[in-house]
Chain A
Amino acid sequence: MSIFDKKINVQDRFDKASKGKSNGETRVIEEALLKPNPIPDYTGDTPKHHSNLEYRLVNIAFKTDNDMKLVNDYVMTISESFKGEKYITDISLLIHIAKAIKKGWDVAEVLNTFFAEKKAEKEAING
């Protein structure tokens, strides 16, 4: 059964009503007869996440303002959108640490290398 069934013959009704009418009168008849039908609600199952990206989206809450400031000042920059949402763009440090731990490497050494690379990148950009 089509969702549009209840409007059967509306075109015929419109044709009859608008025959020989002026442009302005036709607009009025359109408004009277040709209003849109609402779409029935969908009440079935929906995926838990709207996209694969949403699946990878993680919410982080710091316990205190100081903790947040500490992370922002020394580890990862926390930005704020004009709506006030806070977000971190560059999480490569976390990924480096995780990889290092997984491979059994010396995390301190990995961090030193990471920060040295970041510094070099910045210097290259700033000339």
Chain B
Amino acid sequence: MAKEPEYLSPRISSELDDCSLPLTFDSYNRCSLSCRYCFSESFKSNNPMFAGKEIPLQKIDVGKFFNKIDGTGDKRSWTTHGDGARLYEHFFKNRFVLHWGGMADPFCYFERKNGIGYELLKGLAERNYPTLFSFKGPTVLDDKYLELFDQYKEQNNFAFQISIITADDAMGKRIEPGVPLPSERLRAMKVLSSMGYYTVLRLRPFIIGITDHSLDDLLIKAKEAGADGLSTEFFAMDGRCNAGMEKRFKEIQKLISCNDIFKYFRDLSPSERGTYRRLNRLVKERHVKKMYKFCLENDMVFACSDPDYKELSMSGCCCAMPENHPNPEMNNWSKNQLTYHLKEARKHYHRTGECKILEFDEVYGKYKTFMDDAALTHQNIGCTAYTYNIRTVITLREMLQSKWNNVNANSNPRNYLHGKIMPVGIDDAGKNLIYKYNPSEFEQRWADEGIDLTV
């Protein structure tokens, strides 16, 4: 009998440049939900391995997963492309926060049918392992899951990001077919918050023309449901658009009442960022202002995963994990990334009037980490730009360094953050560019209106 294909996870996020939670995990390779804006669907449908084919469902091997977490068992069986032992050394041994729900939903209908996630949850709870979930799926409210969360609530080793982009159930049905209604997800948020867990309104993607219509309502309802933080990022359009994606984008076009969504994104997205089109700051400002002010007034952590307004994050974790969670292990996420340092630069500017200098070694750290382990490089999709001989020796740090120093690269910090930090020269060793915080016009205007930008 043929062996069932096994899904290999966790992996290291490709958003390493500004991600505090690079250890990302999914229990299945696919998600049963059908969100029209799904970025993961875009990536998977562009994978030549699956061109024109149905992607078969693959699941995690629970035993191997816990071998990696515990650093036990036959090391050959830890494999995530042969590097499970390295994940243990760099992450699990140090009890680094696991982010569950990167490319699929941990509580979608596949979980209700297969139950792999429940076994994993149980094991993580028994190990008191710090874990952040990102989800929309319904299974989280099934009795046995709630009983488990309730049983282990005193440990406080779980936190939950509940993904909701509109407060309007009717709109939810159209943009997220097959997904529990926004009101049901708010109920899940309330249940988990009431148990004492840290919860985040994951307002991602913020779709201008949809989300803004019920934004006030959504913010109030999330607060009432106990949300401790808000993490946002605006909808972006992948220029590598295949037929399936084009169909989805056209559905969104109708919902946002746009004549030509492709032109809209082309015209309003800075060209410096390349073909992954993200709208520019000017289009986003009024919405960000509303969210930021709401969080400020309601003692919630505002966090921005979007490259625009990322500097306004109140935590160095753009998934809105706080910097002072009562369980110290829940604060065990990486500060060696751009979000943390941009946030610090913004605070520094509004407290002292000085524009901070950002150096490569300061942002990504001077000490050896997983970023220096060439065996993990292949987990970053960016490595496919290199020939195999380079992939075998290049490290993640060197890949980051290459973007940092190449002002023509779309992912260079100057381009990606669209001028929020600007190169001002090279360091003494002549090895790396140095950048300087570049205050925006809006900061002065907001400060004049009395909005506190020192938080």
B272 and A39 contacting across the interface, CB-CB below 8 Å? yes
Please pick, from A15, A37, A44, the residue contacting B424 in the complex, using a CB distance under 8 A.
Answer: A44
A57–B387 alpha-carbon span in the complex (Å): 12
Q: What is the chain B residue whose CB lies nearest that of A88? A: B389
B414 and A30 contacting across the interface, CB-CB below 8 Å? no
A31 and B267 contacting across the interface, CB-CB below 8 Å? yes
A7–B213 alpha-carbon span in the complex (Å): 26
Interface string of A14-40 (1 = CB under 8 A from B): 110000001110111011011111111
Q: What is the chain B residue whose CB lies nearest that of A12? A: B445
A108 beta carbon closer than 8 Å to chain B: no
A46 and B426 contacting across the interface, CB-CB below 8 Å? yes
Question: Distance in Å from the Cβ of B296 to the closest Cβ of chain A?
Answer: 19
B387 and A27 contacting across the interface, CB-CB below 8 Å? no
A81 beta carbon closer than 8 Å to chain B: yes
Of B17-25, B49-57, B64-72, B434-442, the segment with at least 4 beta carbons within 8 Å of chain A is B434-442
A27 and B258 contacting across the interface, CB-CB below 8 Å? yes
B398 beta carbon closer than 8 Å to chain A: yes
Q: What is the chain A residue whose CB lies nearest that of B280? A: A36
Q: How many residues of B contact A (CB 8 A)?
A: 55
B451 beta carbon closer than 8 Å to chain A: no
Interface string of B398-430 (1 = CB under 8 A from A): 110110011100000011001100111110001
B29 beta carbon closer than 8 Å to chain A: no
Of B155-163, B220-228, B282-290, B309-317, the segment with at least 4 beta carbons within 8 Å of chain A is B282-290
Given A51-B398, A52-B398: A42 and B423 within 8 A (CB)?
Answer: yes
Given A15-B286, A44-B423, A79-B389: A52 and B401 within 8 A (CB)?
Answer: yes
A45–B405 alpha-carbon span in the complex (Å): 10
A2 beta carbon closer than 8 Å to chain B: yes
Please pick, from B264, B401, B422, B432, the residue contacting A3 in the complex, using a CB distance under 8 A.
Answer: B422
Q: Which residues of B contact A15 (CB under 8 A)?
A: 286
Given A3-B422, A11-B282: A51 and B440 within 8 A (CB)?
Answer: no
Given A34-B280, A36-B280, A39-B414: A79 and B402 within 8 A (CB)?
Answer: no
A50 beta carbon closer than 8 Å to chain B: yes
Q: What is the chain A residue whose CB lies nearest that of B282? A: A34
B418 and A36 contacting across the interface, CB-CB below 8 Å? yes
Q: What is the chain A residue whose CB lies nearest that of B441? A: A4
B392 beta carbon closer than 8 Å to chain A: yes
A85 beta carbon closer than 8 Å to chain B: yes
Q: Which residues of B contact A87 (CB under 8 A)?
A: 387-390
A34–B394 alpha-carbon span in the complex (Å): 40
Q: What is the chain B residue whose CB lies nearest that of A86? A: B387
Q: Which residues of A contact B244 (CB under 8 A)?
A: none
B259 beta carbon closer than 8 Å to chain A: yes
A46 and B283 contacting across the interface, CB-CB below 8 Å? no
A66–B385 alpha-carbon span in the complex (Å): 30
A46–B442 alpha-carbon span in the complex (Å): 30
- Name the residue in A46, A48, A51, A56 with the highest tally of chain B Cβ atoms < 10 Å from its Cβ: A51
Interface string of B206-245 (1 = CB under 8 A from A): 0011000100000000000000000000000000000000
A5 beta carbon closer than 8 Å to chain B: yes
A27 and B257 contacting across the interface, CB-CB below 8 Å? yes
Given A2-B439, A51-B402: A36 and B269 within 8 A (CB)?
Answer: yes
Question: Distance in Å from the Cβ of B376 to the closest Cβ of chain A?
Answer: 15
Given A23-B209, A27-B258, A47-B426: A53 and B280 within 8 A (CB)?
Answer: no
B270 beta carbon closer than 8 Å to chain A: yes
Q: What is the chain B residue whose CB lies nearest that of A91? A: B389
Q: What is the chain B residue whose CB lies nearest that of A80? A: B387
A10–B281 alpha-carbon span in the complex (Å): 12
A24–B393 alpha-carbon span in the complex (Å): 51
B170 beta carbon closer than 8 Å to chain A: no
Q: What is the chain A residue whose CB lies nearest that of B210? A: A23
A123 beta carbon closer than 8 Å to chain B: no
Given contacts A23-B256, A46-B426, A49-B405, 15 further A-B contacts (CB under 8 A): A3-B422, A4-B441, A10-B282, A30-B283, A34-B280, A34-B283, A36-B418, A37-B282, A38-B272, A46-B407, A50-B405, A52-B431, A53-B401, A87-B390, A88-B389
Interface residues of A (CB under 8 A from B): 2-5, 7-8, 10-11, 14-15, 22-24, 26-28, 30-31, 33-40, 42, 44-54, 56-57, 79, 81, 85, 87-89
Interface residues of B (CB under 8 A from A): 208-209, 213, 256-259, 263-264, 267-272, 280-283, 285-286, 387-390, 392-395, 398-399, 401-402, 405-407, 414-415, 418-419, 422-426, 430-433, 438-442, 445
Return the 4 tightest CB-CB contacts between A and B, nearest first.
A36-B280, A24-B257, A23-B257, A51-B401
